[in-house]
Structure 1
Amino acid sequence: MKLRLPSGMSKAINAAVAQRVAEEMAARNQGAPANGQKANGQGKVDFRHAIGVRVKSLYVNSPLNQVPAALRDAVNKAASMYEGVYGQGGSLLKEEYSSEIIPLLRPRAVLLRAGAIVQPFTGKMNIGRLNGGAVAAFVKEGGSVTPATYSTDAVILDGHKIMALADPSNDMLRNPDIDSAGIITDDLMSAIAVVVDAKGFLGDGSGANPKGIVKLLATDQKVTGTAITSANALVVIARLNSMQQKVKASNLPFEGNAPFWAFNSRTEFALRGLRDNAGYIFNDEMNQGRLQGHPFFSTENVPDGYIFFGLATQLYFGLERGTGEGGTPEITMGAPDFKNDLTSFKAVMKCDWKLKYDTAFSYASDFTYS
């Protein structure tokens, strides 16, 4: 029996497909790179849409799901626009596109927003690090300078697997509005970003977890916290100054290295509430998004009591591209939950955090509140 859509729904599908096709043709006529690129004025792939459409395509083409042929054709037409960015049967982004998911993670990942360096890799990647430098000294005529002794080691990026599960309703998956696919992408990427960010700060390296900043730092980069109260304001300022001094004392310049603060909302509003006889100490500056001259990021991925200060460009976020043709993330569909009218989707990617230098950050873990 051939299923037919109501005329209103069919018109909506046809209109959506026609618009997408028109955009794609316009992009090609303007000389934009082929397949998978949306006419957005810059010829870039809309990965939020591409991933979401791929999820819908997996759903409508599953033999477990009986969907109208017109809907399946519409979704497949939309998915075909992005076939150039997928490999290995359509579940993996091609290797050259793997890092394009970073903008989808950034809104919920403070460390990426702050400016951590994204480094794609395959398998493992060694990044050389020089632990010595040139030597200079004033000498008498005929004198000599003791030659520099160079020592090196490696920062090694390795793949730690992270998996996200999303259970969109089948109503959303059957929705003829192709653009709604982006909502599914948001759910998957937000879930990954929150965990990636939290482990970037506090990952302990146990099990499948990567090591985060706390475990990657030299032990003397930790500062003792204090009570964040107005009566204790001078001590709070001294502790914040100490955190900056520890990083600057390592001869890593702040200029060009994206210095920033990170803490959670409870700490943020405790700092905002500090007063002296002249009024609020930090609040006006924090209204401009800065603390002691540097940007701050407030995130619940940092626990109570913690404050971080560091140089974002000295932190690497390694994103494994996979092997052969396929990169990450890999997106697959599970069995439908017919009882609750849901379908599970899984996104898997491999990533890692590493510091180029173990003095590029400082932190405290024991600030308290009134």
Structure 2
Amino acid sequence: MSRLNGNRAQAQAEHLKVNVAILGAGRIAHAMATTLVKMAADPHYADLVAPYAVAARDGERAAAFAAQYGFPVSYGSYEELLADPQVDLVYIATPHSLHAEQGIMCLQAGKNILVEKSFTANAAQARELLAVAEASGLLCTEAIWTRYMPSRRMIDDIVASGVIGEVKMVDANLCYPVSGKARMTDPMLAGGALLDVGVYPLNFIDMVLGPRPIDRIVTSMTPYETGVDAHDAITLHYADGTMATAQASMLVSSDRGGYIWGTDGYIVCQNINNVEGIDVYNNDHALVAHHDVPAQLTGYEYQVADAANAILDGLTECAAMPHADTVRIMELMDQVRNQWGLTYPFE
């Protein structure tokens, strides 16, 4: 079990920080390492978390990674990392298809986990991983950074203020030309646009509208040459008459906009993948308010801080991304893929 044991007072008395380890050494792992180093040097987080270790399947690669960021420990296998009693939180930074297996391995070794999105490759894997998490009493949370950012609360507050009236429709898109990356095009790695970029528009919609019943899903996609989805279009028809649309692609760029349309006006969110600003318009299309988003270290710090605080408080999930929300999004993506007739080879 974690040396912290969910006891914040004891941890503070002993000046213990949450030691964070990274499992995997790919691109997203580097982004997290940068974040951890900045958090360790920032007075807001310096007493909360410490960058501690990295593990990769290649010991030399792990050692080079640790040296680059000043991590004190590196391991050439995941098993060695999980045997280290000083590791409190493991950030899983591997492809989607490996998350369930590796997450279970971490939990069974007594490690709290922060699992990069998409949480798993499908809902069945998500439920299996969460069952192990719940039995373990350890923290297990999905690392989809937009759920933890201050911009989310800002958007919620603007909608709740009634300034745009009753929300009737939401639209969100995220597209990047990233098909040159092997993990994006490989079906064995659960590649494709949906789980990597399409998950963000769906989460944006879900954050605005919440868990209301969906009557009907209308969707289509254009396949990549390997069979995974390249472009996606998804329309959600809710039982209360609300509607939402989402678009994603791994071949082109888009404006990355999030749009919330109400009876008295609308909200424009610049870049749903890391909201940079929020504009509010009335029914005459006049700008009535602009909201700046607080400065950040990298944007990843919020999910790390939430996870670390949850560990110190003995919690098994984070309020910003509870298990129910993770499962709901995974089930939605399963339904979408089912309509496309897209399955991964391991399913």
TM bucket (normalised to shorter chain) is: under 0.3
- TM-score normalised to the size of structure 1? 0.26
Relative CO higher for 1 or 2, CA cutoff 8 Å, sep ≥ 6? 1
Bigger Rg over Cα: 1
